[in-house]
Amino acid sequence: MPERKQRGAFIVIEGLDRSGKSTQVSLLEKRCKDAGLPVRLVKFPDRTTPIGKLIDSYLRSDSEMDDHAIHLLFSANRWELAPSIIESLNAGTTVICDRYAFSGIAFSAAKNKPTMSYEWCRAPDIYLPAPDITLFLDVSPEKARERGGYGAERYENAEMQERVEHVFERIGVEIGDGSRWFAVDADREKEAVAEELWERVQPYVKGTEKPLQRLWEDLDERVRNSHLYI
């Protein structure tokens, strides 16, 4: 029998600000490298592209933008990198992604605007490559405060972070908590968190034969099959 082709795993790390996400992403990358696995790190927003530069300026409050427009730019930033992520995965490289579409929904829906519902926020990211596993670093507001509080960028305040966390909880339920989405207690020491992340990614890091899926493609199918489209 011909050997089935393995692709790299698509691993997403999400979390609130001050959850230790950047540290954990680096530790996970190092562990993959030490294990001899081909790995590529991707960070969203990618502030280096022309779209990313607009996002960077907005996050630093150097510029203002309509909430809907900036939401679509965050999504466009993911779409512009999607082909190269797919290419890496098909070449057998594990892709570790620091934030993804889930942040897109969480941070925008947390603005609580009547014209930016959960569904509206999710829409532009439907059909992006779907992660094999998403690890959500869950930090308590007390721990975040203990870690030196939030930074100076837009969204980095306790009230916003609390609303963001609620949206993340809903996303976790929708994606399937305990299957493709795992909430990880990020209040613990960084070594303990790193150990749990490493354990969680074990079924995937050596590559997978599973075809790459698209985000919420089943949901879209339900929409397409509905009588609204006849």
Residues that bind ligand DGP (CB under 6 A): 17, 44-45, 59, 71, 74, 99, 103-104, 107-108, 153, 155
- How near is the Cβ of 56 to ligand DGP at its closest, in Å? 9
Cβ–Cβ < 8 Å for 141, 19: no
DSSP lists the bridge partners of residue 10 as: 95
| Minimum CB–partner distance for residue 52 and ligand DGP (Å) | 10
Query: Whole-number minimum distance, CB 150 to ligand DGP, in Å?
Result: 9
DSSP 49-115: SHHHHHHHHHHTTSS---HHHHHHHHHHHHHHHHHHHHHHHHTT-EEEEES-HHHHHHHHHTT--TT
Beta carbon nearer to ligand DGP, 56 or 207: 56
Nearer to ligand DGP, 1 or 152 (CB): 152
Q: Please identify, using beta-carbon distances, which residue of 7 and 181 lies nearer to ligand DGP.
A: 181
Q: Using alpha carbons, select from 125, 23, 148, 142 the residue that is nearest to residue 78.
A: 125
3-class DSSP state for residue 25? helix
Name the residue among 57, 53, 23 with its Cα closest to residue 41: 23
User: Which CB sits closer to ligand DGP, 7 or 107?
Assistant: 107
Q: How far is the CB of 229 from ligand DGP (least distance, A)?
A: 28
User: In the bound complex, what is the minimum distance in angstroms from residue 197's beta carbon to ligand DGP?
Assistant: 16
Is residue 28 within 8 Å of 95, Cβ to Cβ? no
Nearer to ligand DGP, 37 or 73 (CB): 73
- Cα 70 versus chain centre, distance: 17
